[in-house]
Amino acid sequence: MALIVQKFGGTSVGSIERIRKVAQIVRETWESGHRLVVVVSAMSGETDRLLRLAYELSAEPHEREMDMLLSSGERVTSALLAIVLNEMKIPAQSMTGRQVGIKTDSVHTKARIASISSERLTETLQKGIIPIVAGFQGISAEENVTTLGRGGSDTTAVALAVAVKADRCDIYTDVLGVYTADPNLVPSARKLDQISYEEMLEMASLGAKVLQTRSVEFAMKYKMPVRVRSTFSTDPGTLVTEEEKRMEHIVVSGITLDKNQAKITVQDVPDKPGLAARLFETISSQSIVVDMIVQNVGQDGLTDISYTVPRSDARKAERLAAQIASEIGAGEIKIKEDIVKISIIGVGMRSHSGVAARMFSTLAREGINILMISTSEIKISCLIDEKYSELSVRALHEEFQPETRGTLHEG
């Protein structure tokens, strides 16, 4: 008998029939003798519907009220799933993020989990009842409802798995698992049987939408095995786990494309110590994540600073940059949103040289200009014009195909 956390995404619970299908999966796992905690997202399209309602009433809805509004979608799903499970004579109880003890910071719309008090979950499990938890939400120290940002139900699931010391966390979605590239863009992309936490973290942060970044961070920190699989198939999916020696021979495990990118350039910044820090401290204070940063070599006492932010935060970041620019005597602010970030990821990069050269040469052969570059031990990212999105993914997948053709783990 194992203790398993199962999380079902929006498409998995997108209709009453699909909720019944999820109930069957839960029942099969429960009848196999396993103990279960289930986490659910809002029904597909529900969050967008609620957003539209809010923006019909206000151009800038108050973030506290947005959290109260958007958190309702997951509560609806949890109650519906609990209703059908009880109808099937399986004891289940819907619970909110607050009721399962998820405490967060006070940042509305993208809060971070501070702690989890798992006593109520444990008591519920001891009674033989399956907790059906509304994902994506928690409660702040001020007793306000908070939400964890897009994909936050993944984070809820992994965090609860850690809190109750589960044996595994299964993330059910509408794809079979983690692929070497987006199969919608690259028909030859293959599903990986196994991938390391580090690779999955890079892929999630670089545009792969299979798992939310913070959920992978939780899993890696606490060594919680996560399995990504489809609600609509018996395929075992992809296991996200600790790195194994056999993974190192594969140079590139995956290629990702992140379309949620915008580049901001602050021109003619006085080339003096502390001004860049002031700019980025201001941006950080508004919970805007900066990714790539390039500062040109100064000329005549002035320099240009370019950086990327999520496209959804671009206008806010532009306003902040303009504010700081006026205070420090910098020049014009330029914004470019028709860009994407293409990345290659693989733990094998640590022990193989020449990977960057191959990537740059491949893009050059296709006439694709690189605007910015960032690297880590196991990934290389290039900012390029959006019009080259599909071409870049296909070209790089073809270039690194020998390393990505096989799966990472047999069995």
Residue (of 166, 171, 95, 169) closest to 137 by Cα position? 95
Is residue 167 pLDDT above 50, yes or no?
yes
Mean pLDDT score, 159-187? 93
CATH architecture, range 3-174: 3-Layer(aba) Sandwich (3.40)
How many Cβ atoms sit within 10 Å of the Cβ of residue 58? 10
CATH code linked to domain 339-404: 3.30.2130.10
Q: State the CB neighbour count (10 A cutoff) for residue 1.
A: 8
Max CA separation in the chain (angstroms): 77
What is the average pLDDT across 105-112? 93
The CATH number of domain 262-336 is 3.30.2130.10 = yes
Share of the chain above pLDDT 70, in %: 96
Q: Where in the chain is the domain with CATH 3.40.1160.10?
A: 3-174
How many residues in the chain? 411
**pLDDT at residue 250, rounded to an integer:** 72
What is the pLDDT at residue 67?
Answer: 97
Overall pTM surpassing 0.85 (yes/no): no
- What's the average model confidence in pLDDT over 89-113? 96
Average pLDDT for 367-389 = 94
In degrees and rounded to multiples of 5, residue 60 shows phi and psi of: -135, 80
Residue 130 has pLDDT above 90, yes or no: yes
Band (361; pLDDT cuts 50, 70, 90): very high
Outline which parts of the chain fall under CATH 3.30.2130.10: 262-336, 339-404
